[in-house]
Structure 1
Amino acid sequence: MNANPRRSAGIRATSAVASAAALVLLTGCGTGVSGGSDGAAAADQQQLTIENCGREVTISGVPDAVVGMSPSQTELLLRLGLADRIVGQAQVDTTALPADIAGVAADIPVLSDAQPPAREDLLAVGPDFVYSPTTYEFTAEQGFASIEQLEEAGTAAYVATGGCFDRRMEGTVDDLFVDLENLGRIFQVEDEAGKMIDTAEAELAEVAAALDGLDKPKVAQVYIEGTSLSAIGAGIEYDILRLAGADNVFGPQDAAFSDFFAAQISPESLAAAAPDAVVFAARNPAQEQAARTYLTTTFPDLPAVANDRLIAISPADTFPGTLGNVSVVRQIAEQLYPEAFAG
């Protein structure tokens, strides 16, 4: 597995049993050790300090009441083999879980549909660990539980690395590997997490090898809501296109994306960019069809439209901290370069 400097820098582990003072602290907080082997006792007392979004998150013991704050996060937890530890799943209407694990999640309580769960609903299930794609899910002004409120309740809040507020503009696909390594240590499933990292890295390497030496098409990534048109020019979304072999027509160097990874644009600016392909996010078939209709009727002369290179992706695959960050790279690459993946 290739070394990733951010991966090892993102986590520091300390053992509570290595210090008598730490052991006294844990016992005083009600974290006792039940009977069993010495190895089991050590696992119960494990204390990790994670650096996450510029703060330190201390986790004592392996969490056993976990909430996935979006289907993407819930999927990752399930694939790590943590189904018996998940006490809630949220924002379930934003995307469907993959068919092969949807049944596993059938009995997990649903805390919210299209929005993050209300503070009361989240705290009602008594979580000791919450995994979120972004910091938005902890916006108290929206009625959600803040990180501080969760800490007061004894709940560790972890935000996907690429979804940290200060990193949202610069996030990359391999931020996912930081999260997998962190989760592996937190839940003592390092082997499972390592295998997932190896598989993802191999898939990205395979795509890169297939595209080596090929001319890059100009690609625009947009989001369409009715007749409102926005372009994506930074963050994980930008890195996804880069890894898929695209020459992004919008990028972080553009003034429009100096403060946010997306910006509303005029139809004229997209027409002037003349992309060879357009990638757009759609939550469902109806939204995909509406976006295709808008693009084909508004830009009939656009190379992407004339050559039928309109590529729909799931917005969930661009959420930070999801396996979709990797699979969508291949999805886009295969449609940009069908000849490179034929056979």
Structure 2
Amino acid sequence: MNRPVTTALAAALCLLTAACGGSADDNGTSTRTSTNTTADSTSGYPVTLDNCGRSETFEKVPSRVVVMNGASVAEVSTLLALGLQDKIVANQQSYGMSEVAGRARAIKALPTGGIKLNEAYDIPREAMLGLRPDLVLSVTTYGFEEKNGFATREQLEQVGANSYVSPQGCADDPSRMTVADSYQLLRDMGKIFNVGDRAEKLIAASEKKIAAVSEKVRGKKRPKVMVLFSNMSMGGNDFSSVFSKGIVNDILAKAGGSNAFESASGTTFADLSKEKVAATDVDALVVLSYNDPNPAAYAKKLLKEFPQWPAAKNTTYVTLSDSMYLGPSNDLAVEKIARLLHPDAF
């Protein structure tokens, strides 16, 4: 049964790609104790970032961080991967599962601030200001728009809070997002919290793992893959949560595959009829869970519904969650998909 998504949430879901990720050497260590950033929280400061055309200057390590929902887990996962969970006073991000052992549990254990979310499924202005943040993270500029009932970046600045919009969130265009954006998010958080060495180690380990996988599948035929959310409706057609563009395509390419519906839309998601899906050869299926406890059941349902697919004839599918979106764990998705598409290479 499809779970309808409101226009606001669907708009936010467009930046999951947000979504709307530890990783090669993290391996679940997001549950470890927090990194001791510096003996003096002001040592090495101030630091300045250019973010969406705004100059954000940090005078010390942020200690009251609020992570907005935005239908993402990229921001909270990045903080956990860097060992910064004790800096979070309110987190609204969760997918209920993760490819990283212990991460879903670690996210669930974070404080939420006891906030009642607004109709856009995020933190309203007065509640945000009441949290007394010194840093607010949002996956897109949408989370700082006054017309949506949110605190603006200017209003946050007036109360001494910095703000940050994740890569590609400035233009609200996730269709151009790549794995490099996940690394940029890590680097930016590393700079803000003075844990740049840790960020660079995570990035280097991820790059090394992805390069090794890509080398194994180099020159092989690229199967056509359908990537979509499990049990989710975001448009008017039967298949409205099918990925067409964005970071999933970069991950598929690195894993030796291609998106079967890349030409179906110029935006991140394609809104497709059942007939269009049935007429397309799908060699493999990647079903993504967004708080769906049983995405495998949905995958099996699709394979049964479209028996003409090569994917159905060979039962070729994998279920994933946060590793397919912006975040620190894209290397896990690359390896899992590569093993699905090219088992003989491993």
Instruction: Give the direction of change, closer, same or farther, for the CA distance of 1:242–1:127 in structure 2 (3 Å limit).
Output: same
Point out which structure has higher relative CO (alpha carbons under 8 A, 6+ apart).
2
Match of 1:204 in 2: 210
Q: 2:265 aligns with which of 247, 253, 257?
A: 257
CA distance in 2, matches of 1:41, 1:129: 15
Match of 1:219 in 2: 225
- The question of whether the paired residues in 2 share the 8 Å contact of 1:163 and 1:171 is answered with no
Aligned residue type for 1:58: T
Match of 1:20 in 2: none
CA distance in 2, matches of 1:333, 1:301: 23
Shift of 1:40: 4.8
- The question of whether the paired residues in 2 share the 8 Å contact of 1:131 and 1:158 is answered with yes
Instruction: Give the direction of change, closer, same or farther, for the CA distance of 1:183–1:219 in structure 2 (3 Å limit).
Output: same
- The question of whether the paired residues in 1 share the 8 Å contact of 2:134 and 2:162 is answered with yes
Match of 2:158 in 1: 152
Q: 1:79 aligns with which of 66, 78, 81?
A: 81
Q: 1:327 aligns with which of 328, 332, 335?
A: 332
Match of 1:190 in 2: 196
CA distance in 2, matches of 1:326, 1:301: 31
TM-score scaled by length of structure 1: 0.76
Instruction: Give the direction of change, closer, same or farther, for the CA distance of 1:199–1:64 in structure 2 (3 Å limit).
Output: same
- The question of whether the paired residues in 2 share the 8 Å contact of 1:90 and 1:113 is answered with no
For the pair 1:128 / 2:134, whether they are aligned, the reply is yes
Match of 1:234 in 2: 245
Match of 1:274 in 2: 281
Higher helix share: 1
Shift of 1:312: 2.0
CA distance in 2, matches of 1:244, 1:91: 27
> SS at the partner of 2:93?
coil
> SS at the partner of 1:43?
coil
> SS at the partner of 2:110?
coil
Q: Which moved more, 1:284-293 or 1:183-192?
A: 284-293
Aligned residue type for 2:247: I
CA distance in 2, matches of 1:82, 1:300: 47
- The question of whether the paired residues in 1 share the 8 Å contact of 2:303 and 2:315 is answered with no
Match of 2:324 in 1: 318
Shift of 1:89: 1.2
Report the count of equivalent residues. 294
Identity of aligned residues (%): 35
> SS at the partner of 2:43?
helix
Is the radius of gyration larger for structure 1 or structure 2? 1
Shift of 1:180: 1.5
Shift of 1:49: 2.3
CA distance in 2, matches of 1:278, 1:100: 26
TM-score scaled by length of structure 2: 0.75
- The question of whether the paired residues in 1 share the 8 Å contact of 2:67 and 2:93 is answered with no
Instruction: Give the direction of change, closer, same or farther, for the CA distance of 1:330–1:123 in structure 2 (3 Å limit).
Output: farther
Instruction: Give the direction of change, closer, same or farther, for the CA distance of 1:99–1:221 in structure 2 (3 Å limit).
Output: closer
Quote the RMSD (CA, aligned, Å). Answer: 2.8
CA displacement 1:168-207 (0-9 Å, x = unmatched): 2211011111122221121111111111111111111111
CA distance in 2, matches of 1:81, 1:157: 20
Instruction: Give the direction of change, closer, same or farther, for the CA distance of 1:150–1:41 in structure 2 (3 Å limit).
Output: closer
> SS at the partner of 1:220?
strand
Instruction: Give the direction of change, closer, same or farther, for the CA distance of 1:214–1:113 in structure 2 (3 Å limit).
Output: farther
CA distance in 1, matches of 2:153, 2:299: 36
CA distance in 2, matches of 1:95, 1:113: 19
CA distance in 2, matches of 1:318, 1:113: 29
- The question of whether the paired residues in 1 share the 8 Å contact of 2:78 and 2:185 is answered with no
CA distance in 2, matches of 1:203, 1:270: 33
Instruction: Give the direction of change, closer, same or farther, for the CA distance of 1:101–1:281 in structure 2 (3 Å limit).
Output: closer
> SS at the partner of 2:136?
strand
CA distance in 2, matches of 1:286, 1:42: 46
Give unmatched runs, 5+ long, in structure 1: 1-38
Match of 2:67 in 1: 68
CA distance in 2, matches of 1:273, 1:85: 47
CA distance in 1, matches of 2:102, 2:227: 29
Match of 2:43 in 1: 43
> SS at the partner of 1:285?
coil
CA distance in 1, matches of 2:97, 2:305: 31
Aligned residue type for 1:95: G
Instruction: Give the direction of change, closer, same or farther, for the CA distance of 1:163–1:291 in structure 2 (3 Å limit).
Output: farther
Instruction: Give the direction of change, closer, same or farther, for the CA distance of 1:41–1:237 in structure 2 (3 Å limit).
Output: closer
For the pair 1:289 / 2:288, whether they are aligned, the reply is no
> SS at the partner of 1:154?
coil
CA distance in 2, matches of 1:138, 1:289: 37
Instruction: Give the direction of change, closer, same or farther, for the CA distance of 1:292–1:142 in structure 2 (3 Å limit).
Output: farther
CA distance in 1, matches of 2:286, 2:109: 35
CA distance in 1, matches of 2:109, 2:284: 41
CA distance in 2, matches of 1:299, 1:104: 38
Shift of 1:139: 4.2
